[in-house]
Amino acid sequence: MELSEGLMTRKSIRTFLSKDVPREIIEAILKEAHMAPSSSNQQPWNFHIITGEPLAKLSASIREAHEKNYKPYDPSKGKTIPALYVERTRTLFRELRPFLKKLGEENRSFIETGSLCFYNAPVAILMTIHKSLPGNRLMDIGMAAQNLMLAAHARGLGTCAIGLALLYEDIIRSEAAISPEFDIALIIAAGYPDSESPVNEFRSPRDPIEPFITWIGF
């Protein structure tokens, strides 16, 4: 797969086959993720790979906590972010709805419960960063995450970056034995896509590029 093809065809996968991913494939993907650039070559990322019974137990613990202390997904972040970004999330839900209806699902419930159980993917990858590092080092985590997702895509795997489950970071931290010196920056669900699932036909929209660009000196 050419790099440009990978960039244009990668998308979030939200239903997976119940098929194990060989460890050697995950290792190859992580090696390519590890080649991402970072400030002063600090390589601030760490990867915690969870599968099998530990992942099933973690998902069950999160779901149980969610049922006891329901925390709805709020794309407006408590109305603290500009309406432009909230509207892009609403557009996502509107365009996703027809695909979810084929599954007999509702937008909000599918996104919420799916995120909390990592969309039942066979592998969850937690990316952590040391708490002492400045916030802009999250850019390094993002670059490594993009490498990881493209490397997975090139090998026929699907991924979905997940943030909602971090509402229950204390549970994740405990069950994955993550040191208190580290923050969990991102979760990536990974596995073989279910090609027959309608929801995997969906690709999130992008606004026209022009408003995102400021040209200087051209």
For the stretch 133-175, pLDDT in tens is 999 999 999 999 999 999 999 999 999 999 999 999 999 999 9
Query: Torsion over CA of 175, 110, 144 and 172, rounded to 10 degrees?
Result: -10
Alpha carbon distance, N-terminus to C-terminus of the chain: 33
Alpha-carbon gap, residue 60 to 128, rounded angstroms = 22
What does the pLDDT average to over 65-70? 87
Domain assignment present for 103: no
- pLDDT reported for residue 110: 85
Domain assignment present for 121: yes
Domain assignment present for 32: yes
| pTM for the structure as a whole | 0.94
CA distances (Å), 65 to each of 58, 161, 172, 185, in order? Answer: 11, 21, 11, 20
What does the pLDDT average to over 84-112? 87
Domain assignment present for 21: yes
pLDDT at 108 over 80: no
Q: Domain range for residue 16? A: 11-70+116-199
Structure tokens at 202: 């969906």
Burial profile 155-188: b = 16 or more Cβ within 10 angstroms, e = fewer: eebbbbbbebbbbbeebbbebbebeeebbbbbbb
Domain assignment present for 176: yes
- pLDDT reported for residue 107: 66
Give the CATH number for residue 63: 3.40.109.10
* Alpha helices, H only, the chain: 3-9, 23-33, 52-68, 83-103, 107-116, 138-154, 169-175
Alpha-carbon gap, residue 154 to 4, rounded angstroms = 11
Domain assignment present for 43: yes
- pLDDT reported for residue 70: 79
Closest CA to 207 of 72, 27, 85, 97: 85
Domain assignment present for 159: yes
Domain assignment present for 134: yes
What is the number of other CB atoms lying within 10 angstroms of the CB of residue 141? 21
What does the pLDDT average to over 28-51? 98
Count of structural domains within the chain: 1
Closest CA to 39 of 132, 137, 127, 134: 137
What does the pLDDT average to over 75-101? 90
